[in-house]
Amino acid sequence: MARVAINVDHVATVRQARQVNEPDPVTAAALAELAGAQGIVVHLREDRRHIQDRDVEVLRRTIKTKLNLEMAATDEMVKIALQIKPDVVTLVPEKRQELTTEGGLDVTLFEESLKGVIKTLHDGDVAVSLFINADPNQIKTAHRLESDYVEIHTGTFADAATFAERQEEFERVLTAAKLSRKLGLGVHAGHGVDYRNVLWLRKISEIEEFSIGHAIIARAVLTGIERSVQEMIALVNG
Ligand code: PXP
């Protein structure tokens, strides 16, 4: 059975839209855990557009499962990770203008600089995951870099426009997951996983953890509307 880790970034996005203190991603994380989530994921971006430093600090002290901190491989973020000590750091590429992470980190291109970052995190007792495309070369590099996990980017699979394309991308993810496992890497998968395409991905037994954000928070907004409206109407009518 694969674990499900919930990314609560979108809760922080709603909060930051008003620059107030609710909804609190820490509360969302606690509720997600009560519902059975086996991990909490947050991406502390360089521009702090959603998750704030305070969120990561409070999550570290309060969550009962595992904290997976997504971050860019920069000196600033490595310093924060060594202070917070998440259970896992997932290294991701980061661009200022992107709406969300657009692809895997090119670990082959950045192999030399990643070596030092991964060693520093390991020396600080922080496990490392590399968010990479479903590409055998990237996986072999992740193995050479002594990463503990890879997170296979499922966005291209999720965005496939036709059935044939989806099948092709599925095969790519499957091959990547098998190779990762063969090399002894832990296998996570994420990006664009939703209530439909997870029925494909769950067939890949090598995937031990899914990292899911948008689909779950989007559904929570809609499934929560009825109760929220009823509670307000009850108050308005005394
Ligand atoms: N994994 C990584 C590395 C991500 O950057 C994201 C998006 O923040 C996710 C998983 C979750 O993707 P989604 O929000 O599409 O479920």
Q: How far is the CA of 193 from the centre of ligand 1 (A)?
A: 8
> Among the atoms of ligand 1, which is closest to the Cα of residue 191?
12
- ω before 23 within 30° of 0 (cis)? yes
Q: What is the pLDDT of residues 210-227, one digit of tens each?
A: 999 999 999 999 999 999
Fold for domain 3-236? Answer: TIM Barrel (3.20.20)
Using 50, 70 and 90 to split pLDDT, how confident is the model at 102? confident
Nearest CA to ligand 1 atom 3: 131
Q: How far is the CA of 43 from the centre of ligand 1 (A)?
A: 9
Query: What are the angstrom distances between the C-alpha of 37 and each of 30, 79, 112, 117, 209?
Result: 9, 28, 35, 29, 11
Q: What is the pTM of this model?
A: 0.96
Q: What is the pLDDT of residues 42-83, one digit of tens each?
A: 999 999 999 999 999 999 999 999 999 999 999 999 999 999
Read off φ and ψ for residue 26, nearest 5 degrees. Answer: -70, -40
Q: How far is the CA of 232 from the centre of ligand 1 (A)?
A: 33
Q: How far is the CA of 127 from the centre of ligand 1 (A)?
A: 19
Element (H, E) at 80: helix 75-84
Q: What is the pLDDT of residues 191-216, one digit of tens each?
A: 999 999 999 999 999 999 999 999 99
Q: Residue 12, Cα to own-chain centre: how many angstroms? A: 14
> Among the atoms of ligand 1, which is closest to the Cα of residue 92?
3
Using 50, 70 and 90 to split pLDDT, how confident is the model at 181? very high
Q: Using most ligand atoms within 8 A of CB, pick from 11, 100, 207 the residue to mutate for ligand 1.
A: 100
> What residue ranges line ligand 1, CB within 6 angstroms?
7, 9, 43, 70, 90, 92, 100-101, 131, 151, 190-193, 211-215
Q: Is 70 a catalytic residue?
A: yes
Q: Is 214 a catalytic residue?
A: no
Q: How far is the CA of 115 from the centre of ligand 1 (A)?
A: 24
Q: Is 188 a catalytic residue?
A: no
pLDDT at residue 180 in the model = 98
| Helices of type H across 105-207 | 111-123, 136-144, 155-158, 163-182, 198-201
The CB-side HSE value for 32 (13 A sphere, CA atoms) comes to 32
